[in-house]
Chain A
Amino acid sequence: MASAVLFAGFGGIGASMLLALLWAPSVSIDAFESPAAQRIFYWHVPAAWAAFIAFGALFIGSGGWLFKRSERMWRLHVAGSEAGLATGLMTVWSGCVWGAAEWGTPWDWTDVRLNTFGLLTLLAVYVVLGRNSQPDGVETRDTFAAFGLYGFVLVPLTYIATRIWTIRHPGPVVGTDDGGSINSEMGLVLFFSAISFTVLIVGHMMASMRLTDLEQKLERLQSQTDKVV
């Protein structure tokens, strides 16, 4: 099941990229320094959307472990952090590619959204690497679940950053009071890409939760074997 969802996501993203490169209309040359590079936003924005879903899963999983001691919620924490790391890095590198072409620099240290999103991805790096450096146990789970829970504060901060402190990063393109700044064909491709990324991230998390479940079963079997031996 997880594999099927994962492959559906990959397929959808492949189709979205084809549509983005071959079918979606180009943007106005006057509005952008590097209009061709703008097409990366069909990857960048949905990846960021998927990252927020993953970080949401990390938040729910962390809270579920801390307050309910639920094994299922711990698996969700693991899946959310790994998916958040993957999609966070997708968003960051695609943003750097676009920034290099449009702004002439891959990173702007004065832009709040860039930096808060970078920190969010760094948090995912920390949670994934830090957790893998420790033996599984209640101490490890409590510590990284707490980081997952508190780190989530960066998500709304990142989301509202362009509305409060816009310096360089473009503002929202959909869901705004004026109806957004993209036309219907562009919106359609963006929407299809966002759906595909969502399917991919759901599939990724399902596969990851299954993998963690199998790891836990293996761990239990090893403990039982230790007692017999």
Chain B
Amino acid sequence: MAGLLTLNEVEVRRGMDVVLRNHHLTVAGGQCVALVGANGSGKSTVLEAAAGLLPLEKGSVLHGTTVIIDHEGRRRTGPLTLGLTLQKNGVLGSEVVEEHLQMACSMGGTSTDAAPFLAAFNLKHRAKDLVAHLSQGQVRKIAVLSALLPAFASDEACLLLLDEPSTGLDDDAVKVLCGWLSALRQRGHGLLVATHDQRLIEQATHLHDLARGATEPCKAPTDHPDITTPSAPSRRCSPAAFGVKTHLQTMLWLNTNGMAALLTLGILLAMGTFYPDLSPLQQLGFLLAPAFAAGLCGEPLVAAMREERAASWWMAVGGGVPHAGWMPLMIGTVVTAGASVGFEEPLNGLYVLVGALLCFAVWHGVRFMQMATVRLARPHAAMVGLLTPVLILPYAVLIDWLTR
């Protein structure tokens, strides 16, 4: 059978410790490999390395025959549909259960009816609820389903990476899960499951002991539930589409960027009727200040996506971290037009366009800085805001250039 996953002499460091050294592991289609080992032995590290989430000191990770990450930091999107359940659930509280599952399914280019799966997990009545309204165990079921559904809907072999999927699940749900794992394996998908749960280990065709670094075959059950999953082609949900949708649903843009722009404009207007007495350079600087302030707040989704490691899930499965995409253009346009009205200036199309582009460039510039610190153990403590003055100089140069 074709190899779906290969960890090729991988070395991974976490903190100052080398957690994996020259580690080799393969998962072929039709195999269910159970990762076993004591706490801290590196099961989650293997799984996250396999998902391409961890930088490698040595070696490479292949999905199919494509190197998705190597020790020189080269990354490539894998050709396989990936189903992933991390230790954290990887789902935002602001998402609707049904929509999240359809979006996860769309990562494989398909859509399917999630209702039977929700019913099997006693969650059918929760399909229209926000994830934030569910209990921890129910959210865990959603996280597991979002990894399994794309494989059930796909005719091609998928790679499933599951980290402690049975944690927080009741006995009935674990029995259902065991049946699904068996069914998926027999459909030709490849599964890598990190677990301490004996019931899941019994579903494995191979055991990979991290202490010894060796994989041994074992006898897996041959019976499995008959599951029919009619599927239809679906358009893949991009990180930008999801980001814009989340912004619009949660009004994150208004809470941070929009308020910064409004406050800046409000303070400038509250200072009195000084505007006509300013030089053209100062006038343009004031006119564009709200759009600049909106951009300086950066991307609020970066912080929001830290919830349940949703950013990591998206990075591995969706090929990127969700972002606001074109939204800063809209915000820059509106606040610059608003500033023109506020300062009683005739609406200048060029300045509105510059405001939109300025907001877009600064927003994504700050996002770049925010993203540069996401690997840190305490990214919120890294004080990225200290770096934002770097953007003031290009702003000043732009204003100077426009008023010459």
Q: Which residues on A sit within 8 Å (CB–CB) of B57?
A: 69, 138
User: Is residue B214 contacting chain A, with contact meaning CB distance below 8 A?
Assistant: no
Collect the chain B residues with CB atoms within 8 Å of residue A146's CB: 372
Which residue in chain B gives the minimum CB-CB distance to A220? Answer: B16
Asked if A122 CB lies within 8 Å of chain B CBs, one says yes
- Contact partner, A138, options B13, B381, B386, Cβ 8 Å: B13
Taking CB atoms, residues of chain B closer than 8 Å to A27 are none
A118 to chain B, nearest CB (A): 8
The yes or no answer to A123 lying at the interface (CB within 8 A) is yes
Q: Complex: how many Å from CA A147 to CA B372?
A: 9
Q: Which of A111-143 contact B (CB under 8 A)?
A: 112, 115-116, 118-119, 122-123, 125-126, 129-130, 133-140, 142-143
The distance in angstroms between the C-alpha atoms of A97 and B106, with both chains bound, is 62
- Chain B, 34-60, CB within 8 A of any chain A CB: 55, 57
B216 to chain A, nearest CB (A): 28
A214 to B14, CA, bound (A): 21
B15 lies within 8 A of chain A by Cβ: yes
* Cα–Cα distance between A89 and B386 once the two chains are bound (Å): 15
Contact yes or no, A140 B377, CB < 8 A: yes
Taking the complex as formed, is B218 at the interface, i.e. its CB lies under 8 A from any CB of chain A?
no
**In the assembly, what is the distance between CA of A123 and CA of B390, in Å?**
9
Chain B interface residue count, Cβ-Cβ cutoff 8 angstroms: 23
- A122/B377 in contact, CB under 8 A: no
Q: Is the CB of B376 within 8 A of A115?
A: no
B125 beta carbon closer than 8 Å to chain A: no
Determine if B393 and A143 form an interchain contact, defined as CB atoms under 8 angstroms apart.
no
Q: Return chain B residues, CB-CB under 8 Å to A133.
A: 378, 381-383
Contacts of A3 in B (CB 8 A): none
* A119 in contact with B382 (CB, 8 Å): no
* Residues 199-229 of chain A, each 1 if its beta carbon lies under 8 Å from chain B, else 0: 0000000000000000000010001000000
Chain A positions within 8 Å of B, measured between CB atoms, are 69, 109-110, 112, 115-116, 118-119, 122-123, 125-126, 129-130, 133-140, 142-143, 146-147, 219, 223
14 chain-A/chain-B pairs, Cβ below 8 angstroms: A109-B396, A112-B393, A115-B393, A115-B396, A125-B386, A129-B386, A130-B373, A134-B377, A138-B16, A138-B55, A139-B15, A146-B372, A147-B372, A219-B16
Measuring CB to CB, which residues of chain B are less than 8 angstroms from any residue of chain A? 13-17, 55, 57, 372-373, 375-378, 381-383, 386-387, 389-390, 392-393, 396
